Amino acid sequence: MSPNAFATLFFAAILLTTLARLALMRRQIRHVRERRGTVPEPFAETISLESHRKAADYTASRMGLGMLDVVVGTLFVLALTLGGGLQAIHAGLGAWLEPGTIPHGVALLAALGVLGWAVDLPFALWRTFVIEKRFGFNRMTPRLFLADLAREGLLAAVIGLPVLAAVLWLMGAMGERWWLWVWLFWIGFNLLALFVWPTFIAPLFNKFTPLADEALKARVERLLERCGFRAKGLYVMDGSRRSAHGNAYFTGFGAAKRIVFFDTLLEKLNADEVEAVLAHELGHFHHRHVWKRLAVSAAMSLAMLWLLGWLMQQGWFFAGLGAPAGGTAVALALFALVLPVFAFPLAPVMSHWSRVHEFEADAYAAHHTRADDLVSALVKLYRDNAATLTPDPLYSRIFDSHPPAVLRVARLREQGQ
């Protein structure tokens, strides 16, 4: 393939992908707004028209910002690739660091990370301090926002830079099969992160305290015993410091697994509903969804690294994307920039798989707790988190990791009967 042909192919792909995403997002906004005035029948008695309208407006606001984010992101990628931005950064850093060395490569990738952060920062600020505040969700102060940025930057430097250096060293030192060694290193790093994150990293951002409600704790422990599940501890996280949204999740790996409840979740749900939500999360472990996703992710990362290894030997890959100088760091940067464009067709496949997992976890919860309790919990979460009850079907099939509210509640009610 010639460089011009690949450049044309990439430009056509990013243009079509961007237009498709914008059209789907616009379709979502229109669909939600058209149904703003009527609460869907399954929720007519539990969610007020005012809450339904709030959810529609919240969805439209976030989607509108998302459309602008897509456009800016596309222009950013085009500027770095076909516009020659990456090559210019490569040449600029060459004045201080020798091109082709690990320090130069790490600096190049770090510079791209900082540029990407700078492009995303205005959207994060608007999302947090305008949209989330307008709809009553934001509890983040400017001081806490800046503190989070500082902590994230420090972690990126302390952890991210050595990881990049290790990857670049492996790419240069391990011969033609470097991609296999990088893959093994990446898998090991991610497994290590599963152990390290809950104990050392997460507490840097939030406070975790043991669940103090003895009655709820005893109830949760009985559920864990019925389901044959072990957890290292039950914790409450101060999610209310940043947002009014509620959630619960598992973290950790093996014997280090923890169950974490947002304090906002415990404020909104009663004990029956908390137990049902936890049973849903246990359903993911019972069906080994986490392991299945890790396996698929590992297989896909191996395939992607092999593909990168092949592309690094093709001159048209570099020249077609505006970076004829080549090199391992440049190849890694280009691949990270263009992969989301060509991987877009996988989005509906992965979303469908995730929704299947959610249905399976719901069925598990309905078996071990009352389905009506999970329905009641979901209704409260939909209402309090301003989640739309009327997503566009096509948009939902492509992007949504969870089933639409109407379908999910209907299936749970069938299982309850």
- List the catalytic residues: 281, 362
Question: Which of 190-218 are b and which e, b meaning 16 or more Cβ less than 10 Å from the residue's Cβ?
Answer: eeeebebebeeebeebeebeebeeeebee
Using CA atoms, how far apart are residues 350 and 284, in angstroms rounded to an integer? 16
Using CA atoms, how far apart are residues 181 and 187, in angstroms rounded to an integer? 10
Using CA atoms, how far apart are residues 21 and 398, in angstroms rounded to an integer? 10
What stretch of H or E contains 235? strand 233-237
Report the interhelical angle of 289-311 vs 271-286 (nearest 10°): 50
Using CA atoms, how far apart are residues 31 and 60, in angstroms rounded to an integer? 10
What stretch of H or E contains 339? helix 328-342
Helix intervals (H) in 259-288: 263-268, 271-286
Amino acid at 310: W
